[in-house]
Amino acid sequence: MYIAMNRFKVLKDCTKDFEHVWFSRESYLHEMPGFIAFHLLKGPEKEDHHLYSSHTAWASYADFEAWTKSEAFRKTHDRAGNNKPMTLGHPEFEGFHVIQEVTPQGGVRRVAAE
């Protein structure tokens, strides 16, 4: 499993607008092979911004890569560009491979990065 994250430093007077963009736009993720889940996360408030993060879980890195090259990806990100700046700088991308998982059933599982 591969998790693609973006960290957004949202200006404090733009948090409502920032959330509105996410809540009002269409998602094409569920059409993509290997898509597991997407979460938009609201994190801690810092001195000059409010931290948000988006997490998209994919079955594999290859599935994530295919999404970034898809028409659906282009459509989503074209629209995102139409908004006035609501963040300090660009989103910071970080990609992670899941290497261990614990489930409520008590299973602890080492996972091969893929």
Q: What is the rounded CA–CA span in Å between residue 85 and residue 63?
A: 30
Residue selected from 53, 60, 70, 76 as contacting a second copy according to rule CB under 8 A: 53
Stretch 82-111 residues interacting with a second copy (CB under 8 A): 94-108, 110
Contacts (Cβ under 8 Å, ≥6 apart) of 69: none
Q: Going residue by residue from 9 to 48, which x/- string records binding to a second copy, judged by CB under 8 A?
A: ----------x--xx--xx-xxx---xxxxxxxxxx----
Look up residue 17 and give its two tokens: 């607008």
Which among 87, 20, 95, 11 is positioned nearest to 49, based on CA atoms? 11
Binding interface with a second copy (CB under 8 A): 1, 3, 19, 22-23, 26-27, 29-31, 35-44, 51, 53, 55, 94-108, 110, 113
